[in-house]
Amino acid sequence: MAKIMAVNAGSSSLKFQLLDMPSETLITSGIVERIGMKDSVFTVKLNGQKIEEIIDIDNHAVAVKMLLDKLIDLNIIASFEEIEGVGHRVVHGADKLTKSCVVGEEEIAILESIIDLAPLHNGPNLVGIKAFQEILPKIKQVAVFDTAFHHTMPEESFMYAVPYDWYERYQVRKYGFHGTSHQFVSLRTAELLGKKPEECNVIVCHIGNGASICAVKKGESVDTSMGFTPLEGIPMGTRSGNVDPALVEYMMAKKNKSAKEITNYLNKQSGYLGVSGLSSDSRDLVDASLKGNHRAQLAIDVQAKRIADYIASYYVYMEGADAIVFTAGIGENAAPTRENIIKRLKVLGVEIDPERNNCRGVERLISTDDSKIKVFVVPTNEEVMIARDTLRLTH
Ligand code: ADP
């Protein structure tokens, strides 16, 4: 038995789970928020109880030290050495870090060199790794990349039809994200189908604030909807997903804004929020649409159509699919959205059972017995996937 910590560091936050491996049992979880600001919030969840403290935390290293001291105070660990490995979620590994790895000096240098590919995420992820290295110098830190699972994509899927030297000189290609989730969910789906991963084709719909679809053929990602950045693909909470790239120049002229500002609109003011003008939160849109709000319904429909388009295209690309799976905040919880997507795929012989679909946050088969493709809800668990890789690389 080993205690492994899974960490997700953001610019001012640090989320963690401590897991007992290989049993994959959650020991405790928590989050430190508002790091570097006044009144940081430190929350630990233990045995269903929530312990919250408000205290100034200057930086991530202080947050890590506080967190570990707290684990000792709460008798969760007797000493820091009990933690046998720390796994960090890192958003982008580019084409240089293509699978989970123990982080040494060389890996830090590579991560620093690719910060500009995902500045909002990789920078903070790296700060998290360095903070743990400082406080736990003897314990191995492992990086687990959102992009790694997609490195099996064939050239024809990841290559953009742009001048080839953009790819060779500037690493312009599709990378894909949410890989840890797509991998976890597709592995679990194979188990639910009673098959080995290499015996089935699965289409995973990870629909949360960020959302992406993945074609998993015989256990490997062969295409996914996010691209060079997490902006490509389907519309999301605030992201547009695919648009005509010529729109950027046109809107720069119309609004007298820079390319950066227009890209910011596409990332932060679009998707559910942009179309509905109401909210980026799916619950608000579902509520408003039930009250007859047209633009809320439209925002949901625009996304549902695009998701159905991707599913159909991946079904054809993989020459069939054994299962379509929903996961993440919306995929796990929003029954009407799942129904809205699947009803558009009748031609594939797939059908949802409304009673089975009437569920939230649970693992379940939701298709009818006659459906030609099985449809499941499978709650994602990126932390377990991170802990599995960390255990493997530290033992
Ligand atoms: P991310 O991790 O990308 O920030 P999540 O996977 O947590 O996002 O998903 C957040 C989304 O899930 C929000 O739009 C939220 O409204 C939605 N969601 C959560 N619970 C429900 C629910 N019961 N019904 C509909 N949507 C829900």
331 close to ligand 1 (CB < 6 Angstrom): no
> What is the dihedral angle through the alpha carbons of 263, 266, 269, 275, rounded to the nearest 10 degrees?
160
What pTM did the predictor assign? 0.95
Ligand 1 atom nearest 272 alpha carbon: 14
Q: Could you tell me the distance, in angstroms and rounded to a whole number, from the CA of residue 126 to the centre of ligand 1? A: 26
**Number of C-alpha atoms within 13 angstroms, CB side, residue 296?**
17
Task: Specify whether 39 is catalytic.
Answer: no
pLDDT for res 390: 98
pLDDT for res 115: 87
d(CA 155, CA 211): 23
Query: Which residue from 219, 170, 165, 224 is spatially nearest to 196, judged by alpha carbons?
Result: 219
Ligand 1 atom nearest 236 alpha carbon: 14
Pocket test for ligand 1, best of 8, 234, 238, 283 (most atoms within 8 A of CB): 283
Q: Which residues have a Cβ under 8 Å from the Cβ of 264 and sit 6 or more positions away?
A: none
Residue 111 pLDDT > 80: yes
Cβ(87)–Cβ(387) below 8 Å: yes
Domains and CATH numbers, the chain: 2-145 (3.30.420.40), 194-382 (3.30.420.40)
d(CA 149, CA 18): 23
Distance from CA of residue 120 to its chain's centroid? 14
Give me 223's structure tokens: 């295409």
334 close to ligand 1 (CB < 6 Angstrom): yes
Question: Which residues share a beta bridge with 215?
Answer: 203, 223
> In this predicted model, what pLDDT tens digit does every residue of 146-199 receive, in sequence order?
999 999 999 999 999 999 999 999 999 999 999 999 999 999 999 999 999 999
Q: Could you tell me the distance, in angstroms and rounded to a whole number, from the CA of residue 333 to the centre of ligand 1? A: 7
Q: Could you tell me the distance, in angstroms and rounded to a whole number, from the CA of residue 282 to the centre of ligand 1? A: 6
Residue 230 pLDDT > 80: yes
Ligand 1 atom nearest 211 alpha carbon: 3
Cβ(178)–Cβ(206) below 8 Å: yes
309 close to ligand 1 (CB < 6 Angstrom): no
pLDDT for res 16: 95
333 close to ligand 1 (CB < 6 Angstrom): yes
Q: Which residues have a Cβ under 8 Å from the Cβ of 161 and sit 6 or more positions away?
A: none
In percent, the amount of the chain with pLDDT more than 70 equals: 100
> What is the arithmetic mean of pLDDT over 110-138?
89
pLDDT for res 314: 98
pLDDT for res 47: 82
Label residue 117 by pLDDT band (50, 70, 90).
confident
> In this predicted model, what pLDDT tens digit does every residue of 45-96 receive, in sequence order?
888 889 898 989 999 999 999 899 999 999 999 999 899 999 999 999 999 9
pLDDT for res 162: 98
Candidate from 108-117, 148-157, 326-335 with smallest mean pLDDT: 108-117
Label residue 37 by pLDDT band (50, 70, 90).
confident
For every residue of 106-152, DSSP letters joined together read HHHHHHHHTGGGSHHHHHHHHHHHHHHHHH-TTSPEEEEETTGGGGG
Q: Which residues have a Cβ under 8 Å from the Cβ of 52 and sit 6 or more positions away?
A: 41, 42, 43
What does pLDDT average to over the chain?
95
pLDDT for res 121: 84
Q: Could you tell me the distance, in angstroms and rounded to a whole number, from the CA of residue 187 to the centre of ligand 1? A: 22
Q: Which residues have a Cβ under 8 Å from the Cβ of 174 and sit 6 or more positions away?
A: 150, 153, 157, 158, 159, 160, 224, 226, 227, 228, 232
> In this predicted model, what pLDDT tens digit does every residue of 259-292 receive, in sequence order?
999 999 999 999 999 999 999 999 999 999 999 9
Whole-angstrom CA distances from 214 to 159, 309, 370 are 16, 12, 24
Q: Could you tell me the distance, in angstroms and rounded to a whole number, from the CA of residue 371 to the centre of ligand 1? A: 27
283 close to ligand 1 (CB < 6 Angstrom): yes
pLDDT for res 361: 95
Query: Which residue from 82, 85, 83, 133 is spatially nearest to 107, judged by alpha carbons?
Result: 133
pLDDT for res 328: 97
201 close to ligand 1 (CB < 6 Angstrom): no
Q: Could you tell me the distance, in angstroms and rounded to a whole number, from the CA of residue 162 to the centre of ligand 1? A: 35
> What is the arithmetic mean of pLDDT over 132-147?
95
329 close to ligand 1 (CB < 6 Angstrom): yes
Residue 251 pLDDT > 90: yes
d(CA 236, CA 248): 18
Residue 119 pLDDT > 80: no
d(CA 366, CA 353): 6
> What is the arithmetic mean of pLDDT over 4-16?
93
Query: Of 146, 281, 284, 322, which one is the catalytic site residue?
Result: 146
Question: Which stretches does DSSP call E strand in the chain?
Answer: 2-9, 14-21, 25-33, 40-46, 49-55, 83-90, 101-102, 141-145, 201-207, 211-217, 220-224, 323-327, 364-365, 374-377
